[in-house]
């Protein structure tokens, strides 16, 4: 039946055109944004996962920055400790040279004085972002102080998140485990009477064979109450020179141990930085697989929809034109 009130063919063509237009809008949105899942309405599960992982990636980016800051602190402390070890080697060489009979110990002591001042200078300047890990002002003369470096961001299987840290002890009190050249007092100032360089010889009696006779802990007669920072060889006898050499050697061992600890943490941070960078790339890739649009597919689909749209417009035009043929019945 032909009717001037109801054009079923035109309505069908219009419905098809609307459907094609809707599909074109979706395809154009994917092409313009590059996303197959741009919102929760596209795919709630994939959108939720992608949103969570993007937030984790932002956290990992912050971890990378924190790792860089931590690495800078440790590298500064390690560089200071390494330079101090070289100075200690020089002091050791001067003490050995002073054991030779006929040597002017006063002249050698003048050189040692300068090396002692250099140790202080290195310790005072080894600060990064207000933190000094070789001459700390954090009251380490009372007890060791734990400092931390951010090392990772963790999300467990239950969805709980946490930040992992690496600990390093700033110790100016443990006789056989000191990690700082000088300690710090309660006012945040360097205490030159503590730490590896500032602690007096009596502190190490239980660990040092002062006169090299195989008896650890023998009293250090001539250098009792003297530290590396205060060492003066001008009035020492031959046994006293041996005790001075033992004091310097023990300090050198402690500094080497502290430098090794800093170096191991620096290595770990470097490995963690590489891992975090790789993990970030992996998460980005995983998110892309969930929500990114295949541009080859989308461009092909858009071309097909454009063709369908043109055909639907043509079909609607034909349907509307067919109704006009009724007018011929009323012509005279």
Using DSSP, state whether 182 is helix, strand or coil: strand
The secondary structure of 34-63, three-state, reads: CECCCCCCCCHHHHHHHHHHHHHHHHHHHH
Q: What pLDDT score does 217 carry?
A: 81
All residues at 6 or more sequence positions from 53 whose CB lies less than 8 Å from its CB, including other chains:
283, 286, 287
Contact by Cβ (8 Å): 76, 275: no
Using DSSP, state whether 135 is helix, strand or coil: strand
Any idea which residue has 């490995």 for tokens? 271
Report the alpha-carbon distance of residue 300 to residue 298 in Å, rounded. Answer: 5
* 181 exposure class (CB count in 10 Å sphere: 0-12, 13-18, 19+): buried
> Which structure tokens are listed for 134?
């070789």
Residue 132: φ, ψ to 5°: -120, 115
Q: Of 89, 116, 26, which Cα lies nearest the Cα of 252? A: 89
What ranges do the domains of the chain cover?
89-264
Q: What pLDDT score does 227 carry?
A: 94
Beta bridge partners of residue 127, listed in sequence order: 132
All residues at 6 or more sequence positions from 253 whose CB lies less than 8 Å from its CB, including other chains:
none
pTM of this structure: 0.77
pLDDT digits (tens, 9 = 90+) for 213-254: 888 887 778 899 999 999 999 989 989 999 999 999 999 999
pLDDT digits (tens, 9 = 90+) for 60-73: 888 888 888 888 99
Report the alpha-carbon distance of residue 240 to residue 210 in Å, rounded. Answer: 9
Report the alpha-carbon distance of residue 142 to residue 121 in Å, rounded. Answer: 23
pLDDT digits (tens, 9 = 90+) for 263-320: 998 888 888 888 888 888 998 999 988 888 888 888 888 888 888 888 888 888 887 7
Q: What pLDDT score does 332 carry?
A: 56
* Overall fold of domain 89-264: f41 fragment of flagellin, N-terminal domain (1.20.1330)
26-40, 60-74, 79-93, 109-123: least confident range = 26-40
Average pLDDT over residues 107-115: 96
Report the alpha-carbon distance of residue 309 to residue 24 in Å, rounded. Answer: 9
pLDDT digits (tens, 9 = 90+) for 18-40: 888 888 888 888 888 888 888 88
């Amino acid at each position: 039946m032909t009717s001037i009130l109801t054009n079923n063919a035109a309505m069908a063509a219009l419905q098809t055109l609307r459907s094609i237009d809707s599909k074109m809008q979706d395809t154009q949105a994917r092409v313009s944004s590059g996303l197959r899942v741009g919102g929760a309405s596209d795919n709630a599960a994939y959108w939720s996962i992608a949103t969570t992982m993007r937030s984790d990636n932002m956290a990992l980016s912050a971890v990378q920055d924190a790792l860089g800051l931590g690495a800078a602190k440790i590298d500064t402390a390690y560089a200071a400790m390494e330079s101090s070890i070289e100075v200690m080697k020089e002091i050791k060489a001067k003490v050995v040279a002073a054991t030779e009979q006929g040597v002017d110990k006063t002249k050698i002591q003048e050189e040692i004085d300068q090396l002692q001042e250099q140790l202080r200078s290195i310790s005072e300047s080894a600060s990064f972002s207000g933190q000094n890990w070789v001459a700390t002002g954090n009251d380490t003369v009372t007890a060791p102080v734990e400092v931390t470096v951010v090392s990772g961001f963790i999300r467990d299987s239950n969805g709980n998140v946490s930040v992992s840290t690496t600990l390093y002890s700033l110790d100016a009190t443990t006789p056989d485990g000191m990690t700082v050249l000088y300690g710090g007092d309660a006012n945040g100032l360097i205490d030159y009477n503590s730490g590896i360089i500032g602690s007096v010889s009596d502190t190490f009696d239980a660990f040092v064979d002062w006169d090299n006779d195989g008896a650890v802990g023998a009293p250090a007669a001539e250098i009792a109450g003297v530290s590396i920072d205060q060492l003066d060889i001008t009035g020492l006898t031959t046994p006293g020179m041996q005790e001075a050499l033992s004091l310097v050697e023990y300090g050198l061992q402690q500094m080497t141990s502290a430098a090794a600890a800093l170096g191991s943490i620096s290595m770990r941070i470097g490995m963690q930085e590489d891992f975090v960078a790789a993990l970030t790339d992996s998460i980005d890739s995983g998110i892309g697989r969930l929500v990114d649009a295949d541009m080859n597919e989308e461009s092909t689909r858009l071309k097909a929809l454009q063709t369908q749209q043109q055909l639907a417009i043509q079909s609607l035009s034909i349907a509307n034109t067919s109704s006009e043929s009724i007018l011929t019945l009323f012509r005279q």
